């Protein structure tokens, strides 16, 4: 609003209290009728004349502030309005037999004085505060109505959005639905509803489709599909909590880690969740670079052997020797995570950044290892869903061989790699995808994994 809109603000305030103006007019009419009946009541007729003139001043001045609203200087605008009001009022000839010219002059001067005081008292700031307070009351009432009437609407609408049956960008759909709720439609309310829908979508728990398969090592069942699913859900919950906590510190933890480090991070966090659901049948490899990541801890022999591989200092298990854990005598399970490869950015394909969903552009899933002996492998695929790293599928194979891994690529001086790496080959990927454990219950991912180079069929 501009400064010259002082008159608009004042009139907007009076607009909200128009019944008072009507009541005042009725009082004037009543007084006029009374004086017409009883001419001998001089003081009442005097008051009637004075109030009549005051009422005329109010009406004319209010009208003139509207006419002169384009004058940017509010004091000049009000002064001009006042002069015109006085001129018009002076020109009006009142046809009363008991007309008192002196009293009319006093009434004009007094009413003008009241308006001048009112102009200084009703500053733009005060007028804004009055209207802002009323708007706050209106908004509170709107939000109360929204809370009472729109819960089902929001849930249905969020579900429709998720199924892509309604375009989120089509605000006209929102407006039409809001109007059905008899709620005042405005931009702020629209933003509140879209934010609420986004929040509900984000809060909705992601579910998974389970395969009737388990994870076995050396013919020993180590984990069930239910335990894997539980670990996946715990992972997603932990990531969400981590994101909320770090954002309170104004840190985007995932951008800080970078895409190259995120897959390793995802694998480590998921490994921790696996340990929690394994009922003590798996323990963590105490060598960060050891193999495999999770160690078998089932038989008495395995437990006894493991207890002799470390010492405890300050409550922390310290490996007696790194070599004991790479490779570990009794074996275990290796975990690898992969976000999928996408083509380089072009005019048709955007260059994706951290937080953007990738499933529509992924053309390859693969897992990497530092050697060709990797077996008993849990392979994770993940993506950014609601801007958060989210596990989309878990695969497992216990029959990988060296032939399923490519020739080891050694780091070269000045190159980008700092460690040796071997990529899983097509034969290894086939073994992994043929033994899927859980897949996210989302049509976009189900259709993607159904392609021949991956699972090869719909899991649902």
Rounded-to-integer distance, Cα 331 and Cα 275, Å: 15
Structure tokens at 360: 């529509």
pLDDT at 141 over 90: no
238 and 310 share one domain: yes
Query: Is residue 131 included in any domain, yes or no?
Result: no
Query: Is residue 346 included in any domain, yes or no?
Result: yes
Structure tokens at 236: 């997603």
The secondary structure of residue 408, as a DSSP letter, is P
Mean pLDDT estimate for the chain: 76
Rounded-to-integer distance, Cα 392 and Cα 217, Å: 24
Rounded-to-integer distance, Cα 61 and Cα 105, Å: 17
Average pLDDT of span 327-345: 93
193 and 278 share one domain: no
53 and 93 share one domain: yes
| Torsion of Cα atoms, 109 then 114 then 116 then 122, to 10° | -170
DSSP code per residue over 81-136 = HHHHHHHHHHH-----TT--HHHHHHHHHHHHHHHHHHHHHS-HHHHHHHHHHHHH
Q: Which residue has the higher pLDDT, 392 or 186?
A: 392
* Token pair 């389970």: residue: 210
Query: Is residue 133 included in any domain, yes or no?
Result: no
Average pLDDT of span 217-222: 93
DSSP code per residue over 193-246 = HHHHHHHHHHHSPP-EEEPS--EEETTEEEE-HHHHHHHHHHHHHHHHHHHHHH
Is the distance from CB of 338 to CB of 260 less than 8 angstroms?
no
271 and 342 share one domain: yes
- If pLDDT is split at 50, 70 and 90, which confidence band does 69 have? low
Tell me what pLDDT residue 81 has. 73
80 and 223 share one domain: no
243 and 315 share one domain: yes
Residues 6+ positions from 235 with CB-CB distance below 8 Å: 266, 269, 270, 273, 391
180 and 222 share one domain: no
315 and 419 share one domain: yes
Is the distance from CB of 108 to CB of 61 less than 8 angstroms?
no
Rounded-to-integer distance, Cα 125 and Cα 6, Å: 9
Altogether, the residues listed in the chain come to a count of 460
- If pLDDT is split at 50, 70 and 90, which confidence band does 103 have? very low
The residue among 125, 141, 165 that closes a domain is: 125
Q: How many CA atoms lie within 13 A of 439 on its CB side?
A: 22
Q: Which residue has the higher pLDDT, 276 or 12?
A: 276
296 and 420 share one domain: yes
Query: Is residue 354 included in any domain, yes or no?
Result: yes
- If pLDDT is split at 50, 70 and 90, which confidence band does 351 have? confident
The residue among 69, 92, 125 that closes a domain is: 125
- If pLDDT is split at 50, 70 and 90, which confidence band does 82 have? confident
| Angle formed at CA 13 by CA 7 and CA 16, multiple of 5 degrees | 140
Query: Is residue 317 included in any domain, yes or no?
Result: yes
Query: Is residue 139 included in any domain, yes or no?
Result: no
pLDDT at 360 over 70: yes
Query: Is residue 138 included in any domain, yes or no?
Result: no
Tell me what pLDDT residue 347 has. 65
Question: H-helix or E-strand containing 332?
Answer: strand 332-338
Least confident of 196-205, 250-259, 383-392, 406-415: 196-205
User: Which of 58, 68, 57 is closest to 6 using CA atoms?
Assistant: 68
User: Which of 439, 427, 433 is closest to 382 using CA atoms?
Assistant: 439
Q: How many structural domains compose the chain?
A: 3
Query: Is residue 137 included in any domain, yes or no?
Result: no
Rounded-to-integer distance, Cα 27 and Cα 267, Å: 81
* Count of CB atoms situated within 10 Å of the CB of 334: 22
Q: Beta 436-440 vs 310-313: how paired, if at all? A: unpaired
Tell me what pLDDT residue 260 has. 87
* Each residue's pLDDT tens digit, 20-31: 555 555 555 555
Rounded-to-integer distance, Cα 357 and Cα 45, Å: 81
Rounded-to-integer distance, Cα 440 and Cα 459, Å: 10
Structure tokens at 46: 């005097």
Tell me what pLDDT residue 214 has. 94
Rounded-to-integer distance, Cα 108 and Cα 50, Å: 8
Structure tokens at 34: 């009374």
337 and 440 share one domain: yes
Question: H-helix or E-strand containing 438?
Answer: strand 436-440
**For residue 413, what are the domain limits?**
208-449
User: Which of 372, 365, 364, 366 is closest to 409 using CA atoms?
Assistant: 372
The secondary structure of residue 292, as a DSSP letter, is S
177 and 230 share one domain: no
DSSP code per residue over 12-30 = HHHHHTHHHHHHHHHHHHH
- If pLDDT is split at 50, 70 and 90, which confidence band does 454 have? very high
Is the distance from CB of 273 to CB of 265 less than 8 angstroms?
no
User: Which of 101, 100, 103, 68 is closest to 83 using CA atoms?
Assistant: 68
Average pLDDT of span 281-287: 96
**pTM as predicted:** 0.59
pLDDT at 2 over 60: no
Least confident of 54-58, 137-141, 195-199, 440-444: 195-199
Rounded-to-integer distance, Cα 140 and Cα 146, Å: 10
Rounded-to-integer distance, Cα 455 and Cα 434, Å: 6
433 and 445 share one domain: yes
Kindly give the residue spans of alpha helices, DSSP state H, lying in 150-223. Answer: 151-162, 171-180, 187-203
What is residue 439's three-state secondary structure? strand
């Amino acid at each position: 609003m501009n400064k010259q809109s002082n008159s608009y603000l004042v009139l907007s305030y009076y607009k909200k209290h128009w019944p008072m103006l009507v009541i005042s007019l009725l009082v004037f009419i009543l007084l006029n009728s009374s004086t017409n009946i009883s001419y001998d009541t001089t003081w009442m007729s005097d008051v009637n004349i004075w109030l009549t003139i005051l009422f005329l001043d109010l009406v004319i001045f209010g009208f003139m502030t509207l006419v002169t609203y384009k004058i940017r200087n509010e004091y000049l605008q009000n002064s001009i309005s006042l002069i015109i009001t006085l001129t018009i009022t002076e020109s009006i000839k009142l046809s009363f037999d008991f007309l008192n010219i002196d009293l009319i002059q006093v009434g004009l001067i007094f009413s003008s004085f009241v308006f001048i005081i009112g102009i200084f008292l009703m500053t733009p700031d005060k007028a804004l505060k009055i209207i802002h307070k009323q708007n706050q009351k209106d908004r509170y009432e709107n939000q109360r109505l929204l809370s009472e009437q729109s819960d089902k609407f929001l849930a249905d609408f969020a579900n429709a959005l998720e199924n892509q049956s309604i375009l989120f960008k089509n605000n006209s759909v929102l407006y039409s639905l809001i109007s059905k709720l008899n709620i005042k439609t405005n931009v702020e309310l629209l933003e509140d509803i879209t934010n609420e829908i986004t929040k509900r979508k984000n809060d909705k728990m992601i579910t998974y489709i389970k395969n009737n398969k388990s994870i076995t090592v050396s013919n020993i069942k180590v984990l069930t599909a239910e335990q894997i699913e539980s670990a996946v859900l715990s992972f997603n919950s932990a990531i969400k909590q981590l994101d909320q906590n770090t954002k309170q510190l104004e840190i985007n933890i995932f951008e800080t880690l970078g895409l190259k480090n995120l897959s390793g991070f995802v694998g480590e966090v998921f490994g921790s969740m696996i340990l929690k659901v394994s009922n003590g049948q798996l323990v963590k490899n105490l060598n960060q670079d050891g193999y495999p990541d999770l160690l078998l801890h089932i038989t008495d022999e395995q437990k006894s052997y493991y207890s002799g591989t470390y010492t405890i200092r300050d409550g922390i298990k310290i490996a007696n020797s790194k070599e004991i854990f790479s490779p570990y005598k009794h074996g275990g399970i290796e975990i690898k995570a992969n976000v999928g490869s996408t083509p380089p950015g072009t005019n048709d394909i955007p260059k994706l950044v951290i937080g953007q969903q990738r499933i529509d552009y992924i053309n390859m899933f693969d897992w990497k290892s530092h050697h060709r002996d990797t077996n008993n492998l849990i392979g994770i695929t993940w993506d950014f869903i609601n801007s958060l790293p989210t596990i989309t599928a878990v695969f497992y194979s216990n029959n990988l061989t060296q032939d399923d891994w490519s020739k080891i690529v050694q780091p070269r001086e000045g190159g980008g790699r700092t460690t040796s790496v071997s990529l899983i080959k097509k034969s290894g990927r086939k073994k992994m995808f043929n033994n899927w454990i859980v897949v996210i219950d989302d049509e976009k991912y189900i259709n993607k994994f159904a392609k021949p180079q991956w699972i090869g069929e719909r899991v649902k």
